[in-house]
Amino acid sequence: MRIGILTSGGDCPGINATIRGVGKTAIMHYGMEVIGIHSGFKGILYKDVEPFTERSLSGILNLGGTILGTSRDKPFRKKLTANEDNVREELLKAYNELGLDCVVCIGGNGTMKTANVISEMGMNVIAVPKTIDNDIWGTDITFGFDTAVNIATEAIDRLHSTASSHKRVMVIEVMGHHAGWIALHAGMAGGGDVILVPELGYNIDDVNDFILLRAARKKPYSIVVVAEGIETPEGKKPAEYIAKMIKKSTGIDTRETVLGHIQRGGNPSPFDRILSTRLGSHATELISKGDFGKMVCVKGSQISSIPLKDVANKLKLIEPGNDLIEYGKQMGICFGHLENI
């Protein structure tokens, strides 16, 4: 068999460990031929590929980013070729000309949608979910999330000492456009006092009252963790807006920090390396069985798979009753509303 591997969407720690897991298992255990496809789906169209050997896949386990390069281009939405109308035919033709028996698509929600389309077009596809946001439906966890939570938690830890020394409010914005998983986990792990996630909304007056209440309880500093996707008035940046509102209403000196792409760059944590390796190896096992059109996933402590068509166009958001939120509320953490305080 000859298989291709591509990476698409935003990068995240653990992609190279996944490429290695897929590729080494394919070459060493199944005797497959493996090629790397550069820059996402357009790499198929432009036949921008390189052969992988066991040797070329060495030394990448702990490397951040993706050795294949990535792109957010959506082949069915954005004009990638001169002949836009025939993009489906062109993709299929290029896939056949490359002599591929399967393409492994490593990516986030956008990638899952595209992977499902090309699978329905007749290509053999196996998808591997990746995103620091942990918002892919059908898997309990995505690789990259643990690394991002580690980085965000360390940042919150560091803000604690300076916040308490100056008796300030520190607002920290972490990634998570639709889902607040990083804010929730890093916020809880870092001992955040207020955690705001897009799924729950917030009442800024309640947040301000909560901070004043803390001050009255001889806690003159507060850590506020916000996900980048929380709602703000038109054009207002989350951390900046929340910090401004807190300062204006409470009179407490307030600073904001936006963690940004620091959360996405650099080496994967050991947990993410293991997860990537397990998912990658399982992807190759599915290929060897001809079990295509699937996304590998985590269910409890097991690696499993689900049909790609069940995943495409869905998001895994924090649901009401999430246990971490419930426990947090019982401990007096504010999730944007004063109902529990």
Q: Known catalytic residues?
A: 133
Find, among 228, 225, 248, 247, the residue nearest to 238 by Cα: 228
State the pairing for strand pair 194-196/222-227. parallel
The answer to the question of residue 74 lying near ligand F6P (CB under 6 A) is: no
Query: Smallest distance from the beta carbon of 104 to ligand F6P, in angstroms?
Result: 19
Q: Annotate each residue in 212-251 with x if it binds ligand F6P (CB under 6 A) or - if it does not, as one string.
A: ----------------x-----------------------
Task: Enumerate the H helices of the chain as residue ranges.
Answer: 15-24, 42-45, 87-97, 109-120, 145-166, 181-189, 204-216, 238-250, 270-289, 308-311, 323-330
185 binds ligand F6P (CB under 6 A): no
What is the bridge-based pairing of β-strands 125-129 and 2-7?
unpaired
Q: Which of 65, 108, 190, 268 binds ligand F6P (CB under 6 A)?
A: 108
Q: How many helices (H) and strands (E) does the chain have?
A: 11, 11
| Among 16, 131, 142, 254, interactor with ligand F6P by CB under 6 A | 131
Contact between 18 and ligand F6P (CB under 6 A)? no
CA distance 184 to 196: 8
- Element spanning 37, H or E: strand 33-37
User: If binding is defined by CB under 6 A, does position 107 make contact with ligand F6P?
Assistant: no
Among 24, 264, 273, 278, binds ligand F6P (CB under 6 A): 264
114 binds ligand F6P (CB under 6 A): no
Whose tokens are 């000859």? That residue is: 2
The three-state secondary structure class of 86 is helix
Find the shortest distance in angstroms from Cβ 66 to ligand F6P: 13
Segment contacting ligand F6P by CB under 6 A, of 163-171, 173-181, 217-225, 235-243: 173-181
Residue 175 is a binding residue for ligand F6P (CB under 6 A): yes
How near is the Cβ of 14 to ligand F6P at its closest, in Å?
A: 13
Structure tokens at 83: 């002949």
Binding flag, residue 106, ligand F6P (CB under 6 A): no
Q: Which of these, 336, 16, 339, lies nearest to 180 by C-alpha position?
A: 336
Candidates 19-27, 171-179, 282-290, 325-333; binding stretch for ligand F6P (CB under 6 A)? 171-179
What does the chain come to in residues?
A: 341
Q: Number of residues in contact with ligand F6P, rule: CB under 6 A? A: 10
* 66 scored as a contact of ligand F6P (CB under 6 A): no
For residue 133, state whether it binds ligand F6P (rule: CB under 6 A): yes
Q: Which is nearer to ligand F6P, 43 or 108 (CB)?
A: 108
Smallest gap from residue 68 Cβ to ligand F6P (A): 17
Q: Rule CB under 6 A: is residue 180 a binding residue for ligand F6P?
A: no
- Interface with ligand F6P (CB under 6 A), residue from 15, 123, 132, 183: 132
Pairing mode, strands 49-52 and 169-174:
unpaired
Least distance from C-beta 12 to ligand F6P, angstroms?
7
Task: Tell me: does residue 14 bind ligand F6P (CB under 6 A).
Answer: no
Task: Find the largest Cα–Cα distance for the chain.
Answer: 71
- Write the CA distances from 26 to 7, 19, 95, 102, 340, integer angstroms: 17, 10, 19, 12, 52
Q: Which residues of 205-219 are buried (b: 16+ CB within 10 A; e: fewer)?
A: ebbbbbbbebbeeee
- Positions touching ligand F6P (CB under 6 A) are 10, 108, 131-133, 175-177, 228, 264
